[in-house]
């Protein structure tokens, strides 16, 4: 057997033979054609069945592929986007902002004294704390193009196209207020009796003279500044030596 459609081809070949034999004695013809018709109907039934089964399997593959795509973009613990998704979206938004000469905003959020929180309340409660904070970040970030992701550990990052420092500060305040309103007890914190966050803010209009790495370093520096005091936000300010 070298062809899975050998039966179909045999039917066609028989039909061709019959026609070229040019013997159309009525009763014989009738039986021949009835037999051919029966065979071909059965083979056609096969073909239809194959198509139907392929459709079933393709639909399942499609659904599975959608689920995988969502899973590959989502942080399993918090349900926010994950860092991989951020890494996909950030370059696209960078290019968009570059073309439109608009300000691209980043917020980097870190949970204050989170290691101490874990040490005090245990890792399971630490996970619950991250889940609760992530939910508040998600609620605070409302525009469809804004992307809130878990950056790693207790760090979150929010990407906000078309956002300058004024707008970014509004979101930072909103996140801090929402986290504060959770009133999650944190007896080991040096700045509050409840869980708080520090937020770094960096906004930039992408151009030939800057890069995504610069932008990420800026927001990292701003977060570092905020963590000097904790439970606050800080905008990026260039180091003294680079101020012209």
Partner 1 sequence: MNNLIIEKTHSTPGIVFDTETGVLEIKGESFPENVPKFYGPVIEWIKDFLNSTDKEIVFNFEISYFNSSSSKILMNIFDYLEQQVSEGKNISVIWRCDHENESAVECGYEFKEDLDLLPFVVEIY
Per CB under 8 A, 240 contacts partner 1 = no
Number of residues that bind partner 1 (CB under 8 A): 17
- Considering the complex, state which of residue 42 and residue 217 has its C-beta at the smaller distance from partner 1: 42
Q: Which of residues 63 and 187 has its CB atom nearest to partner 1 in the complex?
A: 63
Nearest CB to partner 1, comparing residues 2 and 208: 2
Stretch that binds partner 1, among 2-10, 26-34, 89-97, 112-120 (CB under 8 A): 2-10
Binding status of residue 50 toward partner 1 by CB under 8 A: yes
Tokens of residue 76, six digits? 């399993």
| Phi and psi torsions of 184, nearest 5° | -90, 115
CA separation for the pair 118, 33 (Å, rounded): 81
Q: Where are the beta strands (DSSP E) in the chain?
A: 104-111, 147-152, 155-160, 197-204, 233-235
CA triple 33-36-41, angle to 5 deg: 125
> Binding of partner 1 at residue 41 (CB under 8 A)?
no
Distance CA(22)–CA(36), nearest Å, equals: 16
- The active-site residue, picked from 154, 155, 185, 208, is 154
| Cα–Cα distance, 203 to 103 (Å, whole number) | 6
Short-list 67, 83, 66, 86, CA closest to 75: 83
* 154 belongs to the catalytic site: yes
| Token representation of residue 58 | 């393709």
- Binding partner 1 (rule: CB under 8 A), the pick from 42, 65, 66, 69 is 42
Binding mask 58-97 for partner 1 (x = CB under 8 A): --x-------------------------------------
Interface positions with partner 1 (CB under 8 A): 1-5, 7, 42, 45-46, 49-50, 52-54, 56-57, 60
Catalytic site positions: 154
């Amino acid at each position: 057997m070298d062809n899975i459609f050998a039966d179909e081809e045999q039917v066609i070949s028989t039909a061709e033979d019959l026609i070229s034999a040019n013997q159309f004695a009525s009763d014989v013809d009738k039986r021949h054609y009835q037999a051919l018709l029966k065979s071909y109907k059965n083979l056609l039934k096969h073909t239809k069945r194959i198509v139907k089964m392929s459709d079933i399997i393709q639909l399942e593959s499609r659904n599975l592929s959608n689920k995988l795509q969502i899973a590959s973009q989502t942080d399993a613990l918090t349900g926010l986007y994950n860092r991989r998704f951020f890494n996909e979206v950030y370059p696209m938004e960078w290019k968009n902002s570059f073309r439109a000469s608009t300000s691209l905003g980043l917020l980097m959020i870190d949970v204050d004294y989170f290691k101490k929180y874990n040490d005090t309340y245990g890792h399971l409660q630490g996970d619950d704390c991250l889940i609760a904070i992530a939910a508040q970040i998600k609620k605070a970030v409302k525009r469809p193009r804004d992307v809130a992701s878990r950056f790693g550990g207790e760090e979150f990052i929010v990407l906000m196209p078309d956002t300058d420092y004024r707008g970014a500060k509004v979101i930072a305040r909103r996140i801090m207020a929402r986290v504060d309103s959770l009133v999650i007890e944190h007896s080991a914190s040096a700045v509050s009796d409840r869980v708080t966050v520090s937020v770094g803010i960096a906004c930039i209009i992408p151009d030939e003279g800057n890069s995504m790495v610069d932008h990420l370093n800026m927001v990292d520096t701003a977060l570092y500044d905020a963590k000097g005091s904790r439970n606050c936000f800080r905008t990026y300010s260039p180091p003294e030596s680079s101020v012209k």
